[in-house]
Chains A and B, each alone.
Chain A
Amino acid sequence: MMSGRSIPFLAGVTAALAAGWLAFPRAIYRSQPEPVNFSHKIHADKAGAKCEDCHTFRDDGSFAGLPALDKCTGCHSAPMGTTSAEKSFIDNYVTPNRQPQWVSYARQPENVSFSHAAHVKRAKMACETCHGNTGSSDTLRPFQIDRISGYSRDIWKTPGTSHGMKMADCVECHRRQGLEHSCLDCHK
């Protein structure tokens, strides 16, 4: 039977568990909102847009990444609807011709060079394999960046998937596919 003398010890354990599991994950990340409350879902459902319509490949096969404003103004040169998000986007970006400063959830660290072309064009992988359900999300969640390492939270665990985007995740997938590569295939 537990004696009263153990209570401070158990209180310490409980406090540490609470701090470690609840407070620490909140404290370690700094949140940064996306500039526009973009809905992938609306664009996919109503406009019939596919991933590659906005996240394009250039003529030389390299991946252009996040779309620039001119991609948006192809449809949004004038307001399409009356929502506050639409009005805000037109007023803040389209009219002054200002590029939205999107932040990439999947941003890899400086020493990594990832080829979208090799994975999408050559290996025919679906975007969802790595990026999870981002393409069907209705809002953009805040970008969370590790205060110490500077890594995106998605690197550790990508929402909608059972994996992250760490080197170990890449290696595991490549091993499953029977693909072995050298360090310099990915590292700059």
Chain B
Amino acid sequence: MNATRRQVLMFAGGSAVGVMFTPAPWRLITDTALWSENWPGIPAPPRGEIHTRFTNCSICTAGCAVRARCVGDQPVELAGVAGHPISRGALCPFGIVGHHLPYIPARLKEGPVGQAAAAIAGGLAKCGPAEFVVTLDLQPGRTASWTYRRAMGALKNGRYIAPSVDAQVAVDLSKARTVLSFGVPVLDGWGTPGIVNAARAGFRLIQIDAVESRTASMADRWFRVRPNSEEVLAAALAGRISPAQAADATGLAVAEIAALAQELEQGGPVLVLGSSQLESTVGTVVARHETPVPGEWKKSAPVTDLASLPDRSVRVLLIDESMPGGYLQWSAIARKLVADNPVVVTFAASPEGYARHANYALPVAVYPEVSGDVPPAIDSVASTFRIASPLVSPPSGMVNPESFIATAAGLSTGDTLRERADAIHKSARGAVFTYADGQSQPLKDMKPDDFWKVLNAGGCWIDEPGAQTAAKLTFGTAARPPEEESDLPLAIVVARETASGIPLLSKVYRESNLRLAPGYVALNPACGLEDGSQAIFETLLGKATVGVTLDSGIPPGVAQVSATPALLDLCAAGARAKVVRS
């Protein structure tokens, strides 16, 4: 039988209609979608017996307890630890995906270790009497920080620099009825998620912010002030200037300021965050006991700040940026370096920080590869000692900054974490939380070896609570009045959410505006630029290419800048900027 073309077409048409009434096309669509989720190259966790390990997250100083489900040596899921006395089962979005951190493609994977060691030795030999060898520690308070202090103490001209953080002062959110926050991201990565969540119902949050930050949007009251005028408002609330003067600077009405002052008077105890003008009510700020260290460690270099060093005096600068922490602007550091061939070595996981300026950038292990302690968080009323026990092995070629700096300074060190654990045990203070039974027991009832074993299994030592104090807390708010350059029309507000520079949750950055992505600037939609476009961000300190995010929560005349080192280098306190199409 000969089929005509018409019959063939009729048959094909019938087949096309018929197949729509079968599961085949719909199933193929689903299957193809599922297949596309498992393309070659997409990392897949190994299959096998799942076992549980415990550690502490060291992405920030909250140091939340982590329960890791592992297949073999590979963590496949991280979660909080219910019943933990500090983190209380909570884990932030960064902490939940923290096991992805070692696999960030942009990670620093190799560095000139031998050359850096030789350059440091050369710099030490060349160091003149008025010159210094400096270690800059971005996350002070760790056991490694003590090693740096000891190493610098062992050198004649050694200095230990840390961002201005008083490690012994903490806030007690549970005692506050009102929290007055000057731009501090209280509800967005500032403290320990578990502590903040637990205390949230007990305090009224008043947020002073120039932009509609996530904390501002979740606060009980938000006062939108002009950028960099927060301290003026604080001065008015402290009675140092009149409400009328503050109204001019902040853009708030006189009546609003007066009402706020009255509200604070009646809403005590008040905890003030982010202002050097106002003091918190006694009881909301606590002076923690120092976490014990071996006696011989005390013979070490004191903690100083960068400003205390004369300009052009630093011959060798060693920077530990292996743990996220405060960032000092490079221009401020560069001023302190000697003019002729200073040696700058940074220990970093990312090429985005000081590695851009250093002579040598040496790669380091990251969480959860690294073994180190996490300093107590700002909202922990008691000192703590917890170790981020490694869940995976670091790749070869990683440098341990602690032992590298100690060796460079000729300091012989042993297992410093164990030595500190023994010193804590000797103090017989506080209690130890163990995961085996989810219980706390007094440290004095535990043997040193058991204590060490518990710490390495993710346990946590918690000291007795510190005494209440009336100390002020400052968090580096704008201290200088804004510049008024006419060709720089935008006031800068830095997005200070903790860990915003960590290259995790990149999908969130790319596909939503939930967080300002690293290297991005948020502007008011009326700025004339397109959302997602590239632009040139320019201040008096230089310019950089940025991505643009349009956000109606940003008022006209303001640029909210992500806390990326390259952008922070351009943003002095009170600085202004312009953003133009590239």
The answer to whether A12 touches B34, judged by C-beta atoms less than 8 angstroms apart, is no
Interface string of A1-36 (1 = CB under 8 A from B): 000011011111111110111001100100000000
Known: A28-B27, A110-B44. A15 touches B35 (CB 8 A): no
Interface string of A107-133 (1 = CB under 8 A from B): 001110100000000000000000000
Interface string of A61-78 (1 = CB under 8 A from B): 010110000000000000
The answer to whether A62 touches B52, judged by C-beta atoms less than 8 angstroms apart, is yes
Question: B24 at interface (Cβ–Cβ under 8 A)?
Answer: yes
Known: A60-B51, A148-B31, A151-B34. A24 touches B11 (CB 8 A): no
- Among A10, A20, A62, A113, the residue within 8 A (CB) of B14 is A10
Question: B10 at interface (Cβ–Cβ under 8 A)?
Answer: yes
CA gap between A17 and B12 in the complex, in Å: 13
The answer to whether A12 touches B30, judged by C-beta atoms less than 8 angstroms apart, is no
**Residue numbers in B under 8 Å from A8 (CB-CB):** 3, 6-8, 10-11, 14
CA gap between A150 and B47 in the complex, in Å: 14
**Residue numbers in A under 8 Å from B573 (CB-CB):** none
CA gap between A14 and B19 in the complex, in Å: 9
**Residue numbers in B under 8 Å from A146 (CB-CB):** 31
Tell me the B1-53 residues at the A interface (CB within 8 Å): 3, 6-8, 10-19, 21-24, 27-28, 30-32, 34-35, 37-38, 44-45, 49-52
Cβ distance B218 to chain A, nearest Cβ, rounded Å: 18
**Residue numbers in B under 8 Å from A65 (CB-CB):** 49
Question: A184 at interface (Cβ–Cβ under 8 A)?
Answer: yes
CA gap between A10 and B10 in the complex, in Å: 8
The answer to whether B14 touches A60, judged by C-beta atoms less than 8 angstroms apart, is no
The answer to whether A110 touches B14, judged by C-beta atoms less than 8 angstroms apart, is no
Question: A149 at interface (Cβ–Cβ under 8 A)?
Answer: yes
The answer to whether A149 touches B30, judged by C-beta atoms less than 8 angstroms apart, is yes
The answer to whether A9 touches B34, judged by C-beta atoms less than 8 angstroms apart, is no
- Among A14, A16, A58, A111, the residue within 8 A (CB) of B37 is A111
CA gap between A174 and B370 in the complex, in Å: 39
Residue of B nearest to A25 (CB): B23
CA gap between A184 and B12 in the complex, in Å: 46
CA gap between A20 and B8 in the complex, in Å: 19
Cβ distance B8 to chain A, nearest Cβ, rounded Å: 7
The answer to whether A20 touches B51, judged by C-beta atoms less than 8 angstroms apart, is no
Question: B77 at interface (Cβ–Cβ under 8 A)?
Answer: yes
Question: A176 at interface (Cβ–Cβ under 8 A)?
Answer: no
The answer to whether B35 touches A149, judged by C-beta atoms less than 8 angstroms apart, is yes
- Among A20, A110, A149, A184, the residue within 8 A (CB) of B24 is A20
The answer to whether B14 touches A13, judged by C-beta atoms less than 8 angstroms apart, is yes
Question: B88 at interface (Cβ–Cβ under 8 A)?
Answer: no
CA gap between A16 and B6 in the complex, in Å: 18
Question: B76 at interface (Cβ–Cβ under 8 A)?
Answer: yes
Known: A62-B52, A149-B35, A188-B77. A19 touches B19 (CB 8 A): yes
Interface string of A40-61 (1 = CB under 8 A from B): 0000000000000000001010
The answer to whether B17 touches A148, judged by C-beta atoms less than 8 angstroms apart, is no
Tell me the A121-158 residues at the B interface (CB within 8 Å): 146, 148-151
**Residue numbers in A under 8 Å from B51 (CB-CB):** 58, 60, 62
The answer to whether A13 touches B15, judged by C-beta atoms less than 8 angstroms apart, is yes
The answer to whether B38 touches A9, judged by C-beta atoms less than 8 angstroms apart, is no
Known: A16-B17, A110-B38. A9 touches B31 (CB 8 A): no
Question: B472 at interface (Cβ–Cβ under 8 A)?
Answer: no
Interface string of A165-188 (1 = CB under 8 A from B): 000000000000000000010001
Interface size on B, residues (CB 8 A): 38
CA gap between A136 and B18 in the complex, in Å: 39
The answer to whether A20 touches B76, judged by C-beta atoms less than 8 angstroms apart, is no
CA gap between A9 and B12 in the complex, in Å: 7
CA gap between A15 and B21 in the complex, in Å: 12
Question: B499 at interface (Cβ–Cβ under 8 A)?
Answer: no
CA gap between A19 and B25 in the complex, in Å: 12
The answer to whether B18 touches A15, judged by C-beta atoms less than 8 angstroms apart, is yes
Tell me the B92-109 residues at the A interface (CB within 8 Å): 96
**Residue numbers in A under 8 Å from B14 (CB-CB):** 8-16
CA gap between A166 and B50 in the complex, in Å: 22
Question: B142 at interface (Cβ–Cβ under 8 A)?
Answer: no
Question: B444 at interface (Cβ–Cβ under 8 A)?
Answer: no
Known: A25-B23, A62-B50. A13 touches B17 (CB 8 A): yes
Tell me the B59-114 residues at the A interface (CB within 8 Å): 69, 76-77, 79, 96
The answer to whether A184 touches B45, judged by C-beta atoms less than 8 angstroms apart, is no
Cβ distance B94 to chain A, nearest Cβ, rounded Å: 12
- Among B11, B23, B77, B79, the residue within 8 A (CB) of A9 is B11
CA gap between A71 and B435 in the complex, in Å: 29
The answer to whether B17 touches A24, judged by C-beta atoms less than 8 angstroms apart, is no
Known: A146-B31, A149-B31. A20 touches B22 (CB 8 A): yes
The answer to whether B96 touches A20, judged by C-beta atoms less than 8 angstroms apart, is no
Residue of A nearest to B52 (CB): A60
CA gap between A25 and B35 in the complex, in Å: 17
**Residue numbers in A under 8 Å from B8 (CB-CB):** 8
Tell me the B273-314 residues at the A interface (CB within 8 Å): none
CA gap between A19 and B16 in the complex, in Å: 12
Known: A16-B16, A110-B44. A188 touches B76 (CB 8 A): yes
- Among B21, B23, B38, B44, the residue within 8 A (CB) of A24 is B23
CA gap between A35 and B431 in the complex, in Å: 53
Residue of A nearest to B91 (CB): A184
Cβ distance B549 to chain A, nearest Cβ, rounded Å: 24
CA gap between A143 and B577 in the complex, in Å: 64
Apart from A12-B16, A109-B34, list 4 A-B contacts with CB within 8 A: A16-B14, A16-B22, A19-B19, A20-B21
Name 18 A/B residue pairs within 8 A (Cβ), A-sorted: A5-B10, A8-B6, A8-B14, A9-B10, A11-B14, A12-B11, A12-B15, A12-B18, A13-B18, A17-B18, A17-B21, A20-B19, A21-B22, A24-B22, A110-B44, A110-B45, A148-B31, A150-B38
User: B residues near A, CB below 8 A?
Assistant: 3, 6-8, 10-19, 21-24, 27-28, 30-32, 34-35, 37-38, 44-45, 49-52, 69, 76-77, 79, 96
User: A residues near B, CB below 8 A?
Assistant: 5-6, 8-17, 19-21, 24-25, 28, 58, 60, 62, 64-65, 109-111, 113, 146, 148-151, 184, 188
Top 7 A-B pairs, shortest CB-CB distance: A20-B22, A12-B14, A16-B18, A13-B18, A149-B34, A8-B10, A148-B31
